[in-house]
Structure 1
Amino acid sequence: MHLDAAIAWLKHAQDVTGNGGVAQTWLVRSRRWAPSYPETTGYIIPTLYRYAAIAGDEDSRVRARRMADWEIDIQLPDGGVLAGALGDSDQPTVFNTGQVIFGWVRAFEEEGDERYRTAAVRASAWLCDIMDEDGCWRKFGSPMTGKQINTYNTRSAWSLARTHQITGETRFLDAAVRNCEWALTQARANGWLDTNCLQDNKQPFTHTIAYAMRGLLEIGVYAGREDFIAAARRIGDAMVAALPADGRLPGRFDEQWRPTVKWSCLTGDCQLGINWGRLFQITGEARYRDATTQILGFVKRTQLLSGEERATVGGIKGSHPLNGGYHPWQYPNWATKFYADALMMDSANRGGPGYVIRKEPAL
């Protein structure tokens, strides 16, 4: 019920654009959809392929292909991907490029179409070309955030490892590892990472905390780097320790892992649920699986399963309450994407139908 409603919302968010991409967000106050968003359309692609396999839903597969084709149509000549939603910028940016690579790699694995591998390779080569020697990306940061250096770009680095999986090109994996090595120079002894927020590096969102954790974890597993896995686990453990009994996790944390706000970032909640689910798969420790179920119990209570406003039924808000500090008064598409992934992760980890482990875990 919850998963089907979330997927239906993502399909609707694609339909309203008319171009194959997925609308960035539903703006509650102005009652309108924002334009298609290349970054998140890219990583919605694996979600729809996964759901197609679980539910036998051919429509999701068709939609995923349409998204991947649209991303090829708008890929920049240098291989990069546009910052922001369509019309926001004419410049490429690191993070968005990395997230679209996930979609192209998965589309290639599913369809065997060389166009998708070629697009992923072009984008990955651009990311490698603009990376500094120490593994940090200091150029082509998002003009939407005004921050050029981000430790959450480990999630972009993970996309390079995914391209390595379908090409075997060592350059891509080497660059992914270098970025994680740089990220660890930003880590405190307790696992907290500097330069890890869209807005305020002193109190990052759980959204970007989870991004950075996931990149470290997955590159650590793929490259056999226990130090990356240990760093990710320190973050995951700190978040488990902070999780209230009702699952309503605060949306920002300081360098001592103390919450600084009362509202919850629903996107970050879902991402952490996925990350804990992966830690359960890696370690076998049930506490991680239980944390996923616990936080999803809270997010489920915020999801509308019926109502007169089609744009809100099945979707997930940026914040709870709606006026909280992360995308207030909005339903950003990536919140629903990560929610769907987390639901499939939780189901799989409890022996029910869930995402099928292929060459990559849930995105």
Structure 2
Amino acid sequence: MKHYWQLIRDHLGWSLGPERQLEEHLRAAIHWLLRAQEATPDDGVAHSYDLRRRRWHASYPETTGYIIPTLIDYAELFDAPECLIAAVRMADWEIAVQLPDGGVRAGTMDAEVVVPTVFNTGQVLFGFARAYVATREPRFATALRLASDWLVDAQDADGSWRRFPSPFAPGSDVKAYNTRSAFGLVRAWQALGETRWLRAADANAAWALSTALPNGFLPHNCLTANPAPLTHTLAYAMRGLMEVGVATDNSRYLDHAIRMAEAIALGQRADGAVPGRYDTNWQPAATWTCLTGNSQLAINWLRLGRITGERRFEQYALAANRFNMRAQDLDQRDANRAGALKGSHPIDGDYLMWRYPNWATKFFADGLMLQLRPDVDNLG
């Protein structure tokens, strides 16, 4: 019955608590990520906690990969060596489960289908790169090189990735949010200096831009065939474009990310939440909010301020962070949920219904760190 009680509280507004100090919200989020690692029989991070079934789902290589930078950033910025230890364990686990050809498997570790997929491989690049930069251990460089080369070899001549789509993300085989994988190649290039990886990232960003509608909307940008993508995947695509733009000094990519940021900001609600989906005319297409997307957009808006020196997006970022801080239950006595964020608010929204996915809390932590540390240019 716990999930029904959470549903009632969400719909009545009772689950939105007061804001506390940002450090308290951040600390609780980091502790939950460590809890999600402890909840598995290996060193990966559990995909999510399922409130309705009251169980943790198996480790998820994709998002464990980009949780590694979050924990290392927190360890370095807030003197938390236990987070570095946990992140290195995650990175070693990623090496152990990396497929022989260098790719990273789709889905969780208990998925019946074991195939490499482009997006998951791109996300694990973040972990290998950050682990290598933090430790200078050659094993992380070796794994990073193997995965990056696999990703480049899988790329089509026009810069898109059509081969190795995820069997768990139906719809078009091409996904605009793969610019997030291109961003992973940027991180690999920054770590090891292989220019072919940066060229591949540039090619993918150029392809994505070539598909844009006149109003800047990117089609084929949702996890399913839904023409109204999630803010989660919109934010993936936006961040990928801006980061590839910075790395290649290509203002076209950055300008497009700014167009997306402006269009989405127009739909932000007075309470700071952003509608969970947008249609092709940039109109809100959901009454619920995707908490993951809120945090990702906060990161993007703050990051645009760092890149451009302008502060016009800061108000949207702070409002989105405030809403998610209110949605994070710091008084929750259930250790499986304390400090975590739901997939959707209310919890019966159509993104990760009834679940607390690890990446929602990961991006929440990143957004709070960027807000807390204006001296930090980039992270994650």
TM-score interval, smaller chain: over 0.9
Describe the SS at the equivalent of 2:49.
strand
Equivalent of residue 344 in structure 1, options 346, 369, 373: 369
TM (normalized to structure 1)? 0.96
Matched, 1:76 2:93: no
Unaligned runs of 5+ in 1: none
Query: What is the distance in 2 between the residues matched to 1:276 and 1:67?
Result: 29
Describe the SS at the equivalent of 1:35.
coil
Matched, 1:103 2:166: no
Describe the SS at the equivalent of 1:286.
coil
Mapping for residues 316-335 of structure 1, pairs under 5 Å: 316-335=341-360
Query: What is the distance in 2 between the residues matched to 1:19 and 1:100?
Result: 17
Between 315-324 and 147-156, the greater mean CA deviation after superposition: 147-156
Query: What is the distance in 2 between the residues matched to 1:18 and 1:30?
Result: 19
> Counterpart of 2:62?
39
> Counterpart of 1:55?
78
The superposition leaves residues 9-44 of structure 1 with CA deviations (integer Å, 9 ceiling, x where unpaired) of 000000011311000000010000000000000000
Matched, 1:197 2:214: no
Describe the SS at the equivalent of 2:266.
helix
- Contact kept in structure 2, 1:240 and 1:291, CA below 8 Å: yes
Matched length: 355
- Contact kept in structure 2, 1:16 and 1:23, CA below 8 Å: yes
> Counterpart of 1:171?
196
> Counterpart of 2:164?
140
Query: What is the distance in 1 between the residues matched to 2:114 and 2:107?
Result: 9
Letter of the structure 2 residue corresponding to residue 109 of structure 1: V
CA RMSD of the aligned region, Å?
1.0
Query: What is the distance in 2 between the residues matched to 1:345 and 1:137?
Result: 31
Matched, 1:113 2:130: no
Letter of the structure 1 residue corresponding to residue 221 of structure 2: N
Q: CA deviation at 1:241?
A: 1.6
The superposition leaves residues 189-239 of structure 1 with CA deviations (integer Å, 9 ceiling, x where unpaired) of 221101000013410000000000000000000110100001111101111
Q: CA deviation at 1:347?
A: 1.2
**Runs of 4+ residues over 3 Å off in structure 1:** none
Letter of the structure 2 residue corresponding to residue 71 of structure 1: E
Matched, 1:182 2:210: no
Query: What is the distance in 2 between the residues matched to 1:238 and 1:102?
Result: 28
Describe the SS at the equivalent of 1:287.
coil
Q: CA deviation at 1:102?
A: 0.3
Query: What is the distance in 1 between the residues matched to 2:262 and 2:371?
Result: 18
The superposition leaves residues 278-325 of structure 1 with CA deviations (integer Å, 9 ceiling, x where unpaired) of 011112222212211111111111101122311111000000000001
Equivalent of residue 7 in structure 1, options 20, 30, 40: 30
> Counterpart of 1:29?
52
- Contact kept in structure 1, 2:33 and 2:45, CA below 8 Å: yes
Equivalent of residue 238 in structure 1, options 249, 254, 263: 263
> Counterpart of 1:67?
90
The superposition leaves residues 247-305 of structure 1 with CA deviations (integer Å, 9 ceiling, x where unpaired) of 12110000111011100000000000000010111122222122111111111111011
Letter of the structure 2 residue corresponding to residue 116 of structure 1: F
Query: What is the distance in 1 between the residues matched to 2:278 and 2:148?
Result: 32
TM (normalized to structure 2)? 0.92
Between 155-164 and 331-340, the greater mean CA deviation after superposition: 155-164
- Contact kept in structure 2, 1:9 and 1:313, CA below 8 Å: yes
- Contact kept in structure 1, 2:342 and 2:355, CA below 8 Å: yes
Query: What is the distance in 2 between the residues matched to 1:8 and 1:163?
Result: 28
Query: What is the distance in 2 between the residues matched to 1:195 and 1:55?
Result: 39
- Contact kept in structure 1, 2:170 and 2:225, CA below 8 Å: no
- Contact kept in structure 2, 1:81 and 1:96, CA below 8 Å: yes
Matched, 1:261 2:286: yes
Query: What is the distance in 2 between the residues matched to 1:163 and 1:145?
Result: 25
Letter of the structure 2 residue corresponding to residue 175 of structure 1: A
